[in-house]
């Protein structure tokens, strides 16, 4: 059902854990029970470190792992623009019905960036269309 890349990120997820003094923390979930919490350490408008905790299926955990790999070192704007399709593509595809798992990671990233910007007294970034 899952390809080798998805299974690798599920069995060996990258960036798992918490950042105690995170600059931005975000959460998101879906009706299927998948839930992601993400922690961002930000320096000079760039994601210096990122950690996550996800409860969910293999696709949700793999998507969370891949999403953190894709945003690490990126500017907040670049991370904000990450799409769930880009996460799925980096995982070399997700099975039918599992694409919503990659949406959770995008929404959690948006939540964390929004929280950080709010703490800095900045306006939220506009949602993508």
CATH number at residue 87: 3.90.1010.10
Tell me the per-residue pLDDT of 33-49, one tens digit each, with 9 for 90 and over: 899 999 999 999 999 99
How many domains does one find in the chain?
1
Over pLDDT 90: what percentage of the chain? 84
Question: Residues of the chain with pLDDT > 70: what percent?
Answer: 98
Question: Residues 6 or more apart from 88 whose CB is under 8 A from it?
Answer: 63, 94, 99, 102
Average pLDDT along the chain: 94
Closest CA to 113 of 52, 20, 40: 40
Q: Which pair of tokens denotes residue 75?
A: 């500017």
With respect to residue 126, please indicate whether it lies within any of the assigned structural domains: no
Expressed as residue numbers, the domain containing 13 is: 4-119
Is the pLDDT reported for residue 129 higher than 60?
Answer: no
Query: Per-residue confidence at 128, pLDDT binned at 50, 70, 90?
Result: low
DSSP run (H or E) holding 69: helix 58-71
Reduced to 3 states (helix: H, G, I; strand: E, B; else coil), residue 129 is coil
Q: What is the pTM of this model?
A: 0.93
127 assigned to some structural domain: no
């Amino acid at each position: 059902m899952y390809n080798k890349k998805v299974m690798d990120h599920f069995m060996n997820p990258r960036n798992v854990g918490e950042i105690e003094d995170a600059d931005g923390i975000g959460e998101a979930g879906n009706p299927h029970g998948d839930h992601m919490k993400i922690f961002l350490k930000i320096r000079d408008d760039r994601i210096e470190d990122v950690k996550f905790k996800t409860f969910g299926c293999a696709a949700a955990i793999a998507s969370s792992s891949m999403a953190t790999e894709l945003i690490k070192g990126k500017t907040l704007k670049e991370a904000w623009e990450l799409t769930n399709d880009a996460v799925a593509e980096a995982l070399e595809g997700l099975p039918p019905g599992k694409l919503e798992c990659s949406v959770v990671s995008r929404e959690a990233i948006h939540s964390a960036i929004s929280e950080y910007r709010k703490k800095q007294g900045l306006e939220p970034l506009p949602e993508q269309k």
